Amino acid sequence: MSKKILLMGPPGAGKGTQAEMIVIKYGIKYISTGSIFRQEIMSNTSIGIISNQYISNGNLVPDKIVNEIVQISLDKCSLNKGFILDGYPRTVNQAKFLEDHLNINHTRLDGIFFIEIPFQVIFDRITKRRSCIKCNCVYHLQTKPPKVENFCDFCKGELVQRDDDKEETVKSRLLSYDNYTKPLKDYYSCKDTFHILDGTKTREEIFAQICDFLGDKLQ
């Protein structure tokens, strides 16, 4: 079941949740550009330092840097065994780079999924998130609050609001998304593997749709 999948949509659309469920079901490589950049930033690498200058201000990291880390990640795994890309591509230029890379390796995408969701729902999801400073576990003040306010259920670390989850930064991130990422829908709309998902549905409903589109109906 070597599926090769793209999972796209605005920040806070639930891409990470769906990606985790897909990885468990299909046993494929999970490549999250967000996770990669967070690790680079925490490790204070040169890529992390440069990327943080963009991310902390709610801006997209330049295509050249993103393409580089994605190519490295893809080269580390066997493409024939499948993968899911979460949060990439975010621009048409990145999409063209990915398509060229896959063509060179004589493979193609099995599913291209775009999660749509209203602005206000996204805004509430992101600005009410809190992350543990020790284990990075993520909570939500309304839908997944910690048992003890401001502290992680698992490691008791302090919960904080990441800089890129703050209101002004979220607004900037969504503006960048509107300007750069939405054109991807036009780019991929002609592909027979492209599907739009309703992000307001439950995680189980969205996941069932994804499996259905991949030709694997859930019982």
The residues assigned a catalytic role are 15, 90, 129, 162, 173
Output DSSP code: residue 13. S
Check the CA dihedral 205-208-213-219 and report its sign. Answer: negative
Q: For residue 145, is the peptide bond before it cis, meaning its omega torsion is within 30 degrees of 0?
A: no
Q: From its phi and psi, is residue 136 left (phi > 0), alpha (psi between -120 and 50) or beta?
A: left
181 vs 175: CA distance, rounded Å: 10
* Encoded amino acid at 150, one letter: N
113 vs 3: CA distance, rounded Å: 13
Distances (CA, A) of 153 to 65, 117, 196: 35, 29, 35
3-class DSSP assignment, residue 151? strand
Distances (CA, A) of 16 to 10, 49, 146, 208, 216: 11, 24, 20, 16, 21
